[in-house]
Amino acid sequence: MLKKSLVAILCAISGSFAVADAPPQRAASRGELLYQTHCIACHDANIHWRDKAQAGDWDSLRAQVRRWQEVGGLRWNDEDIAEVARYLNAQHYRYPTPD
């Protein structure tokens, strides 16, 4: 009990209560990190909502991710491609995915 009280006093003195009340940060997925690192410079959110969308379902979304990583010379493996496709699907498309 004394230890908890001491921690509370130290937090109050340092003003850390504001940090403790902040909402927890969500960890980025691998797909999100890959997309943010390699794709976002050319592909902002508008590209995913344009009238002439290249992806119309889950399979074509994966195909587009595969295509563009090849154009970019990224050498992603199948799992990297799937992770980026999952991220984009969750953020923009909401296509049904196979189990």
**10 has pLDDT over 70:** no
pLDDT at 42: 77
For the chain, the structural domain boundaries read 26-99
The tens digit of pLDDT for each residue in 14-66 reads 554 455 566 777 889 999 999 999 988 876 655 665 556 788 999 999 999 99
Which class in CATH covers the domain with range 26-99?
Answer: mainly alpha
d(CA 31, CA 86): 7
pLDDT at 63: 97
pLDDT tier, 1 (very low <50, low <70, confident <90, very high otherwise): low
pLDDT at 21: 62
CA 57-63-86 angle, to 5 degrees, is 65
pLDDT at 25: 79
